Amino acid sequence: MVSDAGDQPRSARSAAWRFLIVGGINTLVTTALLVALSYVLEGWLAYTLVFLAGVVISTVFAARWVFTSNGSRRAALVYALSYLAIYFVGLLAIAGIKALDGPEYLNGLSVLVTAPLGFLAGRIVFRERQREESSDD
């Protein structure tokens, strides 16, 4: 019999790989959009539009494919709302780049801060949901 403690690291590792795939594709697409839009819009506005698109994509794929949860509407809402805090962290990164007179393409570096936070949010939100679902059985 395998203990729960033995399953935990393998589950986290598996979720991390799936998050990297889904998040990586999402990040590549949204970062390219962010850089392109940063040349025609203010950095904060470009970031806001692209971030919203990324949250929708992430929320749709995170529950079922990354964290293998049924992804109730409540959990999806909590996950999407957690991105509000992550959004402000990213805005702070964009503001820091602007304050340092960095070129627009450096706005893409905001993902180095926001992507790990998104993974942690998903692990917390959907792990709790999985516990609730297993206790219902």
More confident residue, 11 or 128: 11
**What local confidence, expressed as pLDDT, does residue 20 receive?**
81
19, pLDDT greater than 80: no
The whole-number pLDDT of residue 68 equals 59
- C-alpha–C-alpha distance, residues 78 and 98, integer Å: 31
Instruction: Say if residue 132's pLDDT is above 50.
Output: no
13 vs 3, residue with greater confidence? 13
Task: Tell me the Cα Rg of the chain.
Answer: 17
- Per-residue model confidence as pLDDT tens digits over 37-90: 989 999 889 989 998 888 888 777 776 666 656 667 788 788 888 988 998 999
pTM of the model as a whole: 0.63
Per-residue pLDDT reduced to its tens digit, 77-124: 888 889 889 989 999 999 999 999 999 888 888 888 888 888 888 888
Residue 38 burial (CB count, 10 A): 23
Q: What are the tokens at 100?
A: 């340092």
What does the alpha-carbon distance between residue 102 and residue 60 come to, in Å, rounded to a whole number?
33
pLDDT score, position 5: 42
The stretch 6-29 carries a mean pLDDT of: 72
Mean pLDDT value of segment 14-20? 77
Tokens linked to 36: 């392109």
